[in-house]
Amino acid sequence: MRFDEAYSGNIFIASQQNYAESKAVIYGMPMDFTVSFRPGSRFGPARIREVSLGLEEYSPYLDRHLEEVPFHDAGDIPLPFGNAARSLDMIADFVGKLLADDKFPLGLGGEHLVSWPIIQEVYKKYPDMALIHIDAHADLREQYEGEPLSHSTPIRKACHLIGAPNVYSLGIRSGMREEFQFAKESGMHMHKFEVVEPLKQILPTLAGRPVYITIDIDVLDPSAAPGTGTAEAGGITSKELLEAIHLIARSDLQVIGADIVEVAPAYDPTEQTQIAASKFVREILLGWVK
């Protein structure tokens, strides 16, 4: 895929065709090959773009308009269906080029395993990075039924790569006993059930540091986001996640990239999951891209 070519499919609202002049680049990762429950998140990136047409380009939260943040929608990476290892390599190559061009990478998933090659590439450029992980699930398994490439493993892999004390997980309410034990013993920062209040404590400690942020849509309660592969009761509201995004926007963090994953449109005919994800993308563009 050439970055200087206009994407021929649906694009996120207000996206500009000029890659060279963009500060941020949206890209899709249509992969759901390792999910442990319901597949379908490979259709998430396209539908998030489609429903963005119902958004206003102005954010009353941040008093900013999308025309103030030049960004380019590069479309979906053409991942080979069923080949998880090759797909991860392709994502890494794609993101590596974005980072080399000093773009803010904003990825749309896809299952959560797609975050792993992104974290690897970001770490190459920012070895002092921290990771903020907002999710219902710990994602701290070493493997799932013998398979190390699983959407339940990316945060464990990140802990090994960047050091567990540099990983901050929020909203967690599901996982194996061993995952919670690992979090406790490894030095990583796990905050169960809540997002906003622990984030208020975390942000001052990360001031000035490069931080990558990954958001799994299932951190939201299923009543707010039923369109996901592994829905988990007891989550936060979309209003709370917006508050978290705005707290980060108004902080001294150096956000170096982000992704939103696990939107599976087939399970939400009401479209509220896709619509919420689309709004989160708008607020991230306006708040995190400096």
Distance CA 117, CA 31 (A): 13
- Percent with pLDDT over 90 in the chain: 89
| 1: in domain | no
Which pLDDT value is given to residue 8? Answer: 46
Longest dimension (CA), the chain: 49
- Residue 12 within any structural domain of the chain: no
CB atoms within 10 A of CB 184: 10
Type of residue found at 32: D
Query: In the sheet that 189-192 helps form, which strands lie side by side, from edge to edge?
Result: 71-76, 24-29, 104-109, 254-261, 210-216, 130-134, 167-172, 189-192
Burial 36-73 (b: 16+ CB within 10 A, else e): beeebbbbbbbbbbbbbeebeeebebbebebeebbbbb
Beta-sheet pairing, 58-59 with 64-65: antiparallel
Question: Is residue 1's pLDDT more than 60?
Answer: no
The CATH number of whichever domain residue 212 belongs to comes to 3.40.800.10
Distance between CA 68 and CA 82 in Å, rounded?
39
Q: In the prediction, which pLDDT does 7 show? A: 46
- Cα–Cα separations (whole angstroms), residue 161 to 101, 104, 166, 270: 24, 21, 10, 39
Pairing mode of beta strands 254-261, 210-216: parallel
Look at residue 59 and tell me if it is in a domain: yes
- Domain span holding position 282: 24-288
Q: Is 194 left (phi over 0), alpha (psi -120 to 50) or beta?
A: beta
Q: In this structure, is residue 19 part of a structural domain?
A: no
- This prediction's pTM: 0.95
271: how many CB neighbours lie within 10 A of its CB? 15
pLDDT digits (tens, 9 = 90+) for 138-174: 999 876 666 666 777 999 999 999 999 999 999 999 9
In a domain, 126, yes or no: yes
Number of domain units in the chain: 1
Residue 147 counted as domain residue:
yes
- The angle at the Cα of 249, spanning 246 to 253, to the nearest 5 degrees, equals 135
The helix (H) or strand (E) run that includes residue 72 is strand 71-76
Q: Residues 84-104: pLDDT tens digits?
A: 999 999 999 999 999 999 999
Q: Has residue 3 been placed in a domain?
A: no
What's residue 34's pLDDT?
81
CA 92: distance to chain centroid?
Answer: 15
Averaged pLDDT score across all residues of the chain: 94
| Rounded Cα–Cα distance for residues 72 and 146 (Å) | 39
pLDDT, average across residues 241-262: 97
| 7 vs 116, higher pLDDT | 116
- Burial grade of 257 (CB within 10 A; 0-12, 13-18, 19 or more): buried
Q: Which of 213, 242, 274 is nearest to 61 (CA)?
A: 242
